[in-house]
A = this chain, B = another copy of it.
Amino acid sequence: MELLVVGSVALDTVKSPAGEREEMLGGSAIYFSAAASYFGPVRLVGVVGEDFPWDEVEFLRERGVDLEGLEIAEGKTFRWSGVYPEEGERETLLTRLNVFENFRPKIPAQYRSSEMVFLANIDPVLQLEVLRQVGNARLSACDTMNFWIDSKLERVFEVLSRVQMAFFNDGEARSVVRESNLPLAVEKIHAGGPAIAVVKKGENGALMSYKGSMFAVPAFPLKDVQDPTGAGDSFAGGMMGYLLSKGSLERRTFREAVIYGTVMASFAVEGFGVERLKVLREEDIEQRAAKLVGMISLSPRNSVAGTS
């Protein structure tokens, strides 16, 4: 199978209790492909400006990410800036869409047969355009955000009706179907929507519902979180990357994939930007996956063997 991601590429300025960084490589498509690249080759579609520091994505190319679909447009690259306080929600200080404002995803001909596609958090109208261009996907998945839920709910629903898997955070899962009870919200998401719903709850872990059959995983316990940016996209990248590596869309494989999504999200937040996602070894990933499986095993001695 081939895995395609369509999303944003940005330069992020982030301040957190652990420090601050300016104009780091970021964006949903970057985090997703950095995480997924540990499992198999990824194809990236996005847009950058003429000022884009191409050196910064060299590690992705080396890791097998195909950047043919990363188009250069006249103007500047998307900028985002935010602050993570000691407690509470992050605050966005600046959003300059720049070339991303007029992004119209053009899927290169050789990508259109991709069997797996991740529609990162972009305008649902664009997500629908991508789905029209990629006709053969066996597994298409989408992310969204409250901005689109509030402004283009009907289009969001149209996307949900056409994908097999959707990612939400806790609040989005409730607001997209206007239901404050999470189990009921998930039921409503399934009705007319994707068979698989993944609800990411940050330090409270993640929940996957596969046609109503629930699977829950805690967050990987971290003693030092540096920069929460990109956790959700790294989760999706780890999860879909794992499915890609297995070449299987069995129910059990999805449960294993949630483990790897959680692991990749944990690495993402341990460094600023993608700095930690750049330098992982396969054994780092397997060790965390094994520890996480141990955290949900009734027998404390259960090993990673359970996941293979």
Indicate whether A222 sits within 8 Å of B255 (C-beta atoms), given known contacts A295-B214, A296-B215: no
Q: Bound complex: CA of A183 vs CA of B295, how far in Å?
A: 13
Interface size on A, residues (CB 8 A): 39
A299 — nearest CB in chain B belongs to which residue?
B252
The segment from A52-60, A68-76, A200-208, A231-239 found at the interface with B is A200-208
Check A293/B300 contact, CB under 8 A, given A204-B201, A223-B184: no
A216:B205 contact, CB within 8 angstroms:
yes
B223 touches A218 (CB 8 A): no
How many copies of this chain does one complex carry?
Answer: 2
8 Å CB interface, A117-165 against B:
none
Whether, in the assembled complex, A94 has its beta carbon less than 8 Å from a beta carbon of chain B, the answer is: no
Bound together, the chains give a CA A204 to CA B299 distance in angstroms of: 22
A2 interface hit (Cβ, 8 Å): no
Q: Is the CB of B296 within 8 A of A210?
A: no
Among B86, B204, B252, B295, contact of A215 (Cβ-Cβ < 8 Å): B295
CB-defined contacts of A225 to chain B, threshold 8 Å: 181
- Given the known A-B contacts A216-B205, A223-B183, are A255 and B210 also in contact in the complex, defined by CB atoms under 8 Å? no
User: Can you offer 30 A-B residue contacts whose CB atoms are under 8 A?
Assistant: A86-B180, A87-B180, A181-B224, A182-B203, A183-B221, A183-B222, A184-B223, A201-B204, A204-B205, A205-B205, A213-B294, A213-B300, A215-B295, A215-B296, A215-B297, A215-B300, A216-B217, A216-B218, A216-B295, A216-B296, A217-B296, A251-B300, A252-B298, A252-B300, A255-B297, A255-B300, A259-B298, A296-B296, A298-B306, A298-B307
